[in-house]
Amino acid sequence: MVAIFSKFPWLKEPHPLIARNREAFENFDQSQPLNDYTFVVCDTELTGLDRRRDEIVSIGAVMIRNLQIDLSSSFHSYIRPDNLEHTRATLVHRITPGQLEEAPPLNVVLPAFVEFLGSSLLVGHHIALDMTFLNRASKKVLGGTLVNPGIDTMRMAQGYRRVLLGHYHQHGESQTGYSLDALSREYRLPLFKPHDALEDAMQTAYLFLFLLKKFRKGGLLTLKDIYQAGRVGSLRY
C-alpha cells in the first residue's frame, strides 16, 4: 500500500488504523466455520437520527470468541458531541449534556474503538444505522471508512421467522415486532437495560448467539451461509 502512495504522491495516505483495517480484509474468506471468527457486537447512542447532523454520544461493544461472550473484553465510552444541547433523544437514552460535558471527544474515543474492533466482524441490531454514524465519524477522524463485514441480527431474525412460518404452514408475519426488546422477550433471553450502548450490545450478543444456534442446527455452518440466510426457505429448526 505504501508503494502506491509513493508512486502517486497526490493521493493522501490513509491513517494507519484505516490502512490496517483494509489490509485485514483484503483477502477475507467467508467460508470458514463460524467459531473461527471473532465478532464484536456493537451499539451506539445518538443525539438523533439525522444522518448528516446528529452525532454519536456513546459506543458500547462486547466481544464474542469461539461463539461465547468474552466478559473480559468490552468497550464502553461516552463521547462529548459538538452540540451539547438537549435533544429528543435525551429522553430516550437519558444521557444528559452534563454527563457529556466531561466525556472525551470523538477523536479520542473513535481510534480506541477501532483498535478494539480490530479484524473482528461487526454485529448489530439494524446495524446499517450504527455503521452510517460510525463511518461518518471514521471519515472525519481517520480519513476513511471501516470495511469490517457486518451482520444484522434484525435480518437474521426475519430470516429465522420466515423459516418458522413456512415450517408450521402459517400465513403472514407474527404480531411480534423486530425490535431488540420484542425479540429478546419472544425468545426468553436475559433482559438488559434498554437504550444503554453497552447493555444493548450485550442484549444483541445474546440474540445473535441464540439465532446462530438455531441456524447451525438448520445446517448454516459458515459465515457465507449466514449471509445467505435471508434467502433460505427450506431449513427446519
113/111 Cα distance (integer angstroms): 5
Confidence of residue 230 (pLDDT cuts 50, 70, 90): low
Which pLDDT does position 237 carry in this prediction?
A: 36
Mean pLDDT taken over the chain: 87
Task: Give the pLDDT confidence of 66-113 residue by residue, as tens digits.
Answer: 999 999 999 999 999 998 877 877 878 888 888 899 999 999 999 999
Which residue segments constitute the domains of the chain, with CATH numbers given?
30-231 (3.30.420.10)
Amino acid symbol at 141: V
Facing residues of 61 across strands?
Answer: 42, 75
Burial of 17 (0-12, 13-18, 19+ CB in 10 A): buried
Q: pTM of the prediction?
A: 0.87
Least confident span in 114-128, 139-153, 171-185: 171-185
Helices (H), 13-89: 16-24
165/95 Cα distance (integer angstroms): 39
